[in-house]
Structure 1
Amino acid sequence: MIKLLDRLLLFLYSIAIGAVSVFAIVVASGGLNESGLHDWLDNVTGDSQAVQITVICVAIALLLISVRFFIVSVSRGGNNAPSINQRTDHGDIRISVETVENLALKAASRSRGVKDLKARVRVNESGLEIQIRAFVDGDSSIPALSEEMQRTVSQHIEETTGIPVAEVSVFIANVTQAPQTFKSRVE
């Protein structure tokens, strides 16, 4: 939710700063002479206090958004990639979730008849939850193929990383069609 809010704020901030920049370029390049600028400001403001309050509110909002982006840019130092941390006798081990996903894809690709694999890893207290999404060729038994992938992925991840795997879910998204080849006939 915070990331979505930050993206929306960045969008609004970019629009506002872009409009102010275009206006500043037009004024600086002589697009508006001084008397024309005064006439335009008098027409817009109409010497009313409501316009003055609106300008102050917009300026305060832009200042607050600027402060928010400054804080976000300063606080996001270092590597924030999600990782799995393990403590050993010799020190700490950090394995990125992306590494575990790639290991799961490598293990799942060993199964025959599997294509277009995608993996997602979640970390739980009981171990890793791995979700595999795959397309199959349809020549093999889907339950047998799924069980083989679950077993292969679980064993490979546990042997390679030392992290227990709580669950491996396999989702067969579709069956791929083998490309049809036609033999040309010469008469």
Structure 2
Amino acid sequence: MLAILLLSGKVPVELNDRNEQNLYITIVIVAVILFLLSIRFFYLSVRSERGHHHSVHQRTEFGDIQISLETIENMCLKSAERTKGVRDVKTRVRVIESGLEIMIRAIVDGESSIPELTENMQKTVHDQVEEITGIPVSSVSVFIANIVQSPAFKSRVE
């Protein structure tokens, strides 16, 4: 804004020829840098992300099928929550060349064997997603984040 005012002559500034030339060069350099940055941001906002899939596409003899990753994540969530001993679950699905890569983060009750619980959850999610969507599942990773903390109740003395 200051550069526009200086160049238009609205703000009186006494400059000799050398200072005026340096000011113009500085203004041009700043303007070019800002223009290049704006082109870069415009390009980043417009381009489509090649490696990022929002849905899985399948072709059948009757036409195309698209299943959103959100749908598959909710299916994984529903399937994982059915596992006995699991309290809180979050899922994330990525599409890779060999199929779906499912990542599950869970909080468990701490009363069941964690290796058995996670294996059961992996098998359930894997089988359910493959059966319902028809999309191959390459891996199901489970991360046990914590166990449920039982609240400490203080006994009341009467």
Normalised by the length of structure 2, the TM-score is 0.80
Deviates more, 1:144-153 or 1:173-182: 173-182
Alpha carbons 2:107, 2:145 under 8 Å: kept: yes
Specify the alignment match of 2:156 in structure 1. 184
Q: Secondary structure at the match of 1:49?
A: helix
1:38-117, aligned counterparts within 5 Å?
38-39=12-13, 42=15, 47-75=19-47, 82-117=54-89
> Residues 74 and 135 of structure 1: is their aligned pair in 2 closer, same or farther, counting only changes over 3 Å?
closer
Alpha carbons 2:58, 2:65 under 8 Å: kept: yes
CA distance in 2, matches of 1:172, 1:120: 14
Deviations 1:142-173 (A, max 9, x none): 01110111111112211221111121111111
Q: CA deviation at 1:81?
A: 5.7
Specify the alignment match of 1:167 in structure 2. 139
Alpha carbons 2:101, 2:140 under 8 Å: kept: yes
Q: Which amino acid in 2 is paired with 1:98?
A: E
* Count of residues in Structure 1 that have an aligned counterpart in Structure 2: 150
**Two-structure CA RMSD over aligned residues (Å):** 2.6
The answer to which structure, 1 or 2, has the higher relative contact order (CA under 8 A, 6+ apart) is 2
- List alignment gaps of at least 5 residues for structure 1: 1-19, 28-33
Q: Secondary structure at the match of 1:38?
A: coil
CA distance in 2, matches of 1:129, 1:71: 30
CA distance in 2, matches of 1:97, 1:114: 23
> Residues 146 and 73 of structure 1: is their aligned pair in 2 closer, same or farther, counting only changes over 3 Å?
closer
The percentage of counterpart residues that share the same residue type is 52
Q: Secondary structure at the match of 1:181?
A: coil
Relative to its length, the structure with more helix (as a share) is 1
- List alignment gaps of at least 5 residues for structure 2: none
Q: CA deviation at 1:58?
A: 0.9
1:153 pairs, out of 125, 128, 147, with 125
1:140 pairs, out of 92, 106, 112, with 112
Relative to its length, the structure with more strand (as a share) is 2
Q: Which amino acid in 2 is paired with 1:126?
A: S
